Amino acid sequence: MSIDEAFLPWAEAKGVKLNGVEPQVLPGRGIGIVATQNIRANDVVLSVPLKSVRTIDTVPKAITQVLLPGVSVQGILAAQIALDETDDFTMWRTVLPTREDLEAGVPMMWPKELQDLLPRRAKDLLEKHTTTFRRDADFVLKAFPDLTRDDYLYSWVLVNTRTFYNSMPKMKTYAQADRLMCMPAADLFNHADQGCQLSYSALGYNIVANRAYFAGEEVYLSYGSHSNDFLLAEYGFILDTNRWDEVYLDDVILPRLNRTQRDDLKSVDFLGRYALDDQTLGCHRTQVALRMLCCTPRQWQRFFDGEDDGSTSQVDVDDLLRMVLNDLLDIVGETLLKVDEADVGLDGQRELLRRRWQQTETMVRRTIEQLE
C-alpha cells in the first residue's frame, strides 16, 4: 500500500491545510498522520474549510429525495459514496481502506459464528448497527437496484468508521445521529485514548495538538472516551492500553436477579450496563445491583438514596462480586476455547477476538486480586 502522490495536492486544492504533519502508511494501522517537524501543544496540525465538509446537506438532491425520510443520515452518506463516480471521489478513494482491510477488523463484516463470540457490550452495539443497516439497505437497494448489498455494506462501514460529529451551531437543531460529517484527510488520524481534539471555528474545523509531538511521532486524534469493546464494534480495532477500558458484567449479574429484582432495577433505570474498570471495584450501577442481591430492601433503598455509604454491606458485596467475576472467568475460558476451535473467518478476526478476551481476563483477575 502507498499513498498516491496526487492525494495531498488534491486535498490542498480543497483548502485542507496540513501544518507539520503528513499521512503515512503505518504497519497494522493502515494510514495514519505523522509529525514531519516538532509540534507544540495547541498547534493546529490540520484544518478543513467548511466548503469541503460532506454532510446530509451536501448530498445531491437526486439521492436525498429518494431516500429521506426512511434512511438514516449515515445510510444516505453511505449511498452517496457507493454511487459516487466523480473524479473527485476517485482521488479520495485512493486513501480509503479496501473491503478486505475493513473485513479484517470490523465485526459487521465477520461471519455470524465469530460475531456470536464477541463480548456482550460489543455484541449489543453490533446488533444496533445491524438493525439500522438492514433497514437502510432495504430502502437503498430498492431505490438503486444496480448497487449490491456488499458494495453498500462496504460504504456503510466506511462512513461508520470515519465520520465526525458536526458541532457547527446550525447542527443544534439536528438529532445527534444526523450530525455526521465526512472530512477528507482529517479522517486519516488514528485514535489513542489521549489525543488531539477537533474544534469548530466559523471557517471550518481544526485538529489541535493535545501535547507536544516530536518529528517522526504518530499524531493521534481522540475519537472519544471509548472502551475497547466499543472500539472493536465500531472501528474494528482495540488498544493495548486504554484508560477508558471497561468490561460489562451483565452476563453474570443479570441471571442472578429474579423477575421482581429486575423489575425494580428497571423502574429506576438501573437494569444492565454493569461495568468493571481499572478505577473502581465495580461501577455504581454494579454496586446498586449487587446490593439488590445481598442486602435487605431497606438497606438497599438507603444505599440507593445516598443515605448510607454502603460500608456496612461492603464485605458481602465484595464476596458476591468475587463470585460473579469467577463466573465471568468461566465464560472467558469457554469463549477462548470456542475461538481456538472456530474454523470460520480470517486469522486476524479470530486473533482480535482472542486478544480482547485475554484483556478481559486480565482485568477480571486484577480485580479479584484487589478484592482479596
Ligand X SMILES: C[S@@+](CC[C@H](N)C(=O)[O-])C[C@H]1O[C@@H](n2cnc3c(N)ncnc32)[C@H](O)[C@@H]1O
Q: What residue is closest to ligand X based on CB?
A: 30
Three cell numbers, residue 94: 485512493
What is the residue whose three cell numbers read 446537506?
57
Spatial separation of the C-alpha atoms in residues 213 and 209, rounded to whole Å: 8
Nearest distance, CB of residue 285 and ligand X, angstroms: 28
Using the rule CB under 6 A, give the single segment among 183-191, 206-214, 242-250, 260-268 that binds ligand X. Answer: 183-191
Residue 195 in the binding site for ligand X (CB under 6 A): no
What is the rounded distance in angstroms from the CA atom of residue 4 to the CA atom of residue 124? 38
Residue 161 in the binding site for ligand X (CB under 6 A): yes
H/E stretch holding 33 reads strand 30-35
- The distance of closest approach from Cβ of residue 106 to ligand X in the complex, given in angstroms and rounded to an integer, is 7
Other C-beta atoms lying within 10 Å of the C-beta of residue 284? 13
Report 97-116 residues binding ligand X (CB under 6 A): 97, 105
Residues 6+ apart with CB under 8 A from 294: 313, 316, 317, 319, 320
List, edge to edge, every strand of the sheet that includes 221-221.
Answer: 17-18, 44-49, 204-208, 191-201, 221-221
Taking the complex as a whole, the smallest distance from the CB of residue 273 to ligand X amounts, in Å, to 24
For residue 28, the minimal CB distance to ligand X (Å) is 6
Phi-psi region of 57 (alpha: psi -120 to 50; beta: other; left: phi over 0): alpha
Interface with ligand X, residue 154, by CB under 6 A: no
Contacts of 342 (CB under 8 A, 6+ apart): 113, 114, 117, 350
Output 216 or 333, the one with its CB closest to ligand X: 216
78 counts as binding ligand X under rule CB under 6 A: no
Of the candidate residues 119, 184, 195, 236, the single one contacting ligand X (CB under 6 A): 236
Q: According to CB under 6 A, which one of 162, 262, 273, 355 is a site residue for ligand X? A: 162
In the complex with ligand X, the residue whose CB is nearer, 158 or 265, is 158
Tell the smallest beta-carbon distance from residue 64 to ligand X (Å). Answer: 24
Q: Is 187 in the site for ligand X (CB under 6 A)?
A: yes
Cell of 151: 458494495
Q: Using the rule CB under 6 A, which residue among 20, 30, 119, 204 binds ligand X? A: 30
Beta bridge partners of 213: 39
| Single-letter residue type at 80 | Q
Nearest to 108 by CA among 77, 72, 137: 137
- Residue 358 near residue 336 (C-beta atoms within 8 A): yes
Residue 155 touches ligand X, criterion: CB under 6 A: no
Per CB under 6 A, which region of 12-20, 46-54, 74-82, 182-190 contacts ligand X?
182-190
Residue 109 or 363 having the CB closest to ligand X: 109
Please tell me the count of residues contacting ligand X according to CB under 6 A.
18
Q: Which of 11, 16, 31, 209 binds ligand X (CB under 6 A)?
A: 31
Q: How far is the CB of 218 from ligand X (least distance, A)?
A: 9
Residue with cell 445481598: 294
**Burial group, residue 213, by CB count within 10 angstroms (0-12, 13-18, 19+):** buried
Where does this chain touch ligand X (CB under 6 A) — which range of 26-34, 78-86, 263-271, 278-286?
Answer: 26-34
221 DSSP β-pair partners: 196
- Segment 269 to 288, residues that bind ligand X, using CB under 6 A: none
In the window 38-77, what residues touch ligand X (CB under 6 A)? none
Closest CB to ligand X among residues 79, 221: 221
Q: How far is the CB of 155 from ligand X (least distance, A)?
A: 14
Of the ranges 131-139, 140-148, 230-238, 280-288, which one interacts with ligand X (CB under 6 A)? 230-238
29 lies in the site for ligand X, by CB under 6 A: yes
> Shortest distance, CB of residue 250 to ligand X, whole angstroms?
26
Distance CA 354, CA 332 (A): 10
Give alpha helix (H) positions in 55-165: 61-67, 73-83, 87-93, 99-105, 112-115, 120-143, 149-162
The three grid cell numbers given for residue 348, joined into one nine-digit string: 486476524
Q: Which residues bind ligand X (CB under 6 A)?
A: 29-32, 97, 105, 161-162, 187-192, 235-237, 239
